[in-house]
A and B are shown apart, each in its own frame.
Chain A
Amino acid sequence: MRTPRRNRLGRACAGALLAGVTLLTSAGAAVADDPSASASPADGETAGPTEAGTTFRTATAIQQEQTATADASTGDYLYWVFPADSGQRPTVRAKVSLPESATRHGASTWQVDVYDGLRRRQACMYGHQTRKAAPDAGTVELSCVLRTVRAWAEPWAFDPLPGSYYVRLTVTGLAEEDLGLPVHVETEVTSTAQGGAHDVGGALAEPLVPGVSLASAQQDGDSEQDGDSPQAAPLGSEPEDGWSSGWWTDRWLWTVGGGVLAALAAVFGYGLTRGTGRPSRVPPGV
């Protein structure tokens, strides 16, 4: 009678574990499939900066989930920089409030570009990266969904890596007379965690943040920094809770779970060869 009970318990545990793993992964997938889940504009967002930079060097640092606003002139190149960590798939959204249509002379085309910490342009998987605003349109909304940030890639690859990301917003086509007219822009970056399927081996020595080596040299109390050596870049681009250590991935759960299941299956298999009860030769009640 002992063996069947043991098997039942084993099966129950395996079932629970499987259910746990399923729940975990399917929850992750559900979040990943629905980018709007974390991107609704009203819930608990912190107000971001109200200015934007005009070059890579002067880009305004923002955090994810922050709404950055800026007043600018049509034709300005506006830059923001935000940190993105491995496993995230950032979505950049921008909303441009155009000047009154009475003062405008024609349609305008707006574009948002995203560059990584090495100033390499990053492709948008989908989203309205470029959009044309009709002459009478009040606003134009742009979006760009980046590829999932990987922990590591070969130097020859252009894959997105953990580090700073630059957002550049500008008008690419417009009636000449409309240059310099005031616009108001809102930018927001959200991201979805993509789960263990995108957890790759390896890690960068340092995230791709420009000026990172100078900053670390200064922190080390490097006295070699003489008068004409460049100053450290302000490292505004770091996630609020720091960069992830890259240690955790749900692959641990899968692998450990697999090991446990294999062990249980082995016990079960072993049990099968033992038969269902006592050997028939042994008389009952002994």
Chain B
Amino acid sequence: MITRKRLTAGVCVLLATLAAGFGTAVPAAADEPSTTPSPKVELVLDVSGSMRARDIDGQSRISAAKQAFNDVLDAVPEEVELGIRTLGADYPGDDRKVGCKDTKLLYPVGPLDRTEAKTAVATLTPTGWTPIGPALLGAADDLQGGDATRRIVLITDGEDTCGPLDPCEVARDIAARGIHLVIDTLGLVPNAKIRQQLTCIAEATGGTYTAVQHTDELSGRVKQLVDRAAEPVVTPVATEGAGSCSAAPQLKAGLYTDRQEIGKHRWYRVDVLPGQELRASVSVAADRAVNDDYGVLLRAVTTHGREIVRGAESGTGRTDAVSTGLRYPKPEQEDADVSDEDLKPAAEAVCLQLSNSFSAPPSVKTTPGMPVELTIDLVEGPDDASDVAAFGLGRGWWLLGVMVLTGLIAGLLFGWISRWRVAVWRTN
């Protein structure tokens, strides 16, 4: 009896231990920091005549901007290389041609000398025109070189009246250079026209737009944007998808960017070894005014044109991007004869077809294409499930009932048989 009780207790303890023990997991692997090139930021400040207006917390727009710059310059993170460019600071005249070229680099992009930069900002007086387009082009050139993240922070109170250079087109062209440049815009006391122009610029480069009404808002937001530039982020590699699978660029695991025009598809190729899993995710950014209903489709296709798996997404309404993804676990090779010692299993070329169903009003330019971000991952060891349930284990009262019933019947049968055998043995 005692032995039995002990056994029962032992089983209970064992179960409890099992229950408690299996919750533990594999410890997290720490990732090592890598040396990254220092991020570059350029602040582009509008110093046009209209900045004299005194409507921000009772002070003039330019003094609000100066105060904000002082705050920001104090708080710039060490690793950020900061530059300052002005527009409309020098030419007070009425000649539009000259006025619309009036942009200059006030403080060059590089390691920051705070006092020097502050002194330079203090000298500014509101003067001329508002050539946003040329200023953006200049800023993009200032930030050239290196592989770090780049950010332009544009602070303005007026729309670009210089034409024919539409600053929004300029921004999109800059973004299409593939230099990972983001333009954030801040509008001081904006009206509908400025707002439209500034949101268009921000949208075209994946930046943000802020309407500023108070000085502290201005300095807080610019600080936030500069800090954002300092965040470590993976820089994607530019690639160019082809019109057919056979001509498609071969991609390895990594992060890629491309441009895709509305209504055109692109092909990429990835080699997948048996036993590997391909994971591809893609997002197409709506960097211009597009119609309200849109979609994106990513297909994994064999070289013979058979579709393996697809990821599709569609949406409606305001969006920054539409994205989808797929995964394709390629099974291990079945027969061992093929994979001899010296014969490596052949990789399968999987074609990825990316298409979108964006549409845009006729007034919207379709070139350059919309930014595409493509993530390719290849993971070892495909997954497979041998059973729907975990380890093929059962669960629930039906299971218990069936098991108890089976046990009972088995016990009864066994008992009767042995009884019958004893009876037979006795009669003999």
* A interface residue numbers (CB < 8 A to B): 5-6, 9, 13, 16-18, 20-21, 24, 51, 53-58, 71-73, 75-77, 103, 115-121, 151-152, 155-156, 170-173, 176-177, 179-182, 196-197, 199-206, 208, 210-215, 217-219, 228-235, 238-274
Given A264-B407, A268-B408 in contact, is the A252-B234 Cβ separation under 8 Å? no
Q: Cβ of B404 and Cβ of A265 under 8 Å apart? A: yes
Most-contacted residue by chain A among B236, B403, B405 (CB, 10 A): B403
- Give min CB distance, A96 to chain B, whole Å: 15
Judge whether A200 and B390 touch: CB under 8 Å: yes
B234, B255, B380, B384: the one contacting A202 at CB < 8 Å is: B384
A6 to B281, CA, bound (A): 63
Whether A266 pairs with B408 at a CB distance below 8 angstroms is yes
Known: A180-B187, A218-B32. 4 other contacts (CB 8 A): A73-B208, A118-B326, A255-B394, A257-B400
Find chain A residues with CB under 8 A from B416 CB.
273
**Residue B75 lies at the interface, judged by CB distance under 8 Å to chain A:** no
Query: By the criterion CB–CB under 8 Å, are B209 and A179 in contact?
Result: yes
Q: Which residues of B in the span 11-28 have a Cβ within 8 Å of any Cβ on A? A: 11-12, 15, 18-19, 22-28
The 8 Å CB contact of A273, one of B5, B377, B415, is: B415
User: A272 CA to B399 CA in the complex, in Å?
Assistant: 23
Cβ contacts under 8 Å, A219 to chain B? 29, 31-32
Nearest B residue to A233 via CB reads: B234
- Asked whether, in the complex, the Cβ of B388 is within 8 Å of the Cβ of A265, the reply is no
Question: Closest B-chain residue to A246, C-beta based?
Answer: B390
Cβ–Cβ contact B390 & A211, under 8 A: no
State the CA gap A229–B235 with chains docked (Å).
10
Q: Are A261 and B403 in contact (CB under 8 A)?
A: yes
Interface residues of B in 219-275 (CB under 8 A from A): 220-221, 224, 227-228, 231-237, 252-256
If A156-B309, A251-B393, A274-B415 touch, whether A180 touches B325 (CB-CB below 8 Å) is no
How far is the CB of B370 from the nearest CB of chain A, in Å? Answer: 14
Known: A234-B31, A255-B399. A57 touches B407 (CB 8 A): no
Given A76-B208, A208-B279, A269-B408, the answer on whether A232 and B34 have CB atoms closer than 8 Å is yes
A263: B residues at CB distance < 8 A: 407
CB contacts (< 8 Å) of A58 on chain B: these are 228, 231, 233
C-alpha gap A258/B213 in the complex (Å):
69
Given contacts A230-B234, A251-B395, contact A205 B277 (CB under 8 A): yes
Q: Are B382's CB and A57's CB within 8 A?
A: no
In the bound complex, do residue A254 and residue B396 qualify as a contact, i.e. CB atoms below 8 Å apart?
yes
Q: Please tell me if the beta carbons of A253 and B412 are within 8 angstroms of each other in the complex.
A: no
Which residues of chain B are near A17, meaning CB under 8 Å? 12
Which of B233, B320, B395 has the largest count of A CB atoms less than 10 A from its CB?
A: B395
Chain B residues with Cβ under 8 A from A255's Cβ? 393-395, 399
A173 to B383, CA, bound (A): 42
| Contact for B410 among A212, A247, A266, CB less than 8 A | A266
Asked if B235 and A231 make an inter-chain contact with CB atoms under 8 angstroms apart, the answer reads yes
Find out whether the CB atom of A262 lies under 8 angstroms from the CB atom of B320.
Answer: no
Q: Are B206 and A54 in contact (CB under 8 A)?
A: yes
Knowing A180-B187, A259-B403 are in contact, say whether A232-B317 is a contact too (CB < 8 A). Answer: no
Q: List 10 A-B contacts (CB under 8 A).
A: A56-B321, A118-B324, A121-B313, A179-B199, A234-B233, A241-B25, A266-B408, A269-B408, A269-B409, A273-B411
Pair B415/A202 contact, Cβ less than 8 Å = no
Interchain nearest-CB distance for B180 vs A (Å) = 10
Q: Which residue from chain A places its CB closest to the CB of B211 in the assembled complex?
A: A180
- Closest residue of chain A to B317, judged by CB? A172
Which residue in chain A gives the minimum CB-CB distance to B328?
A155
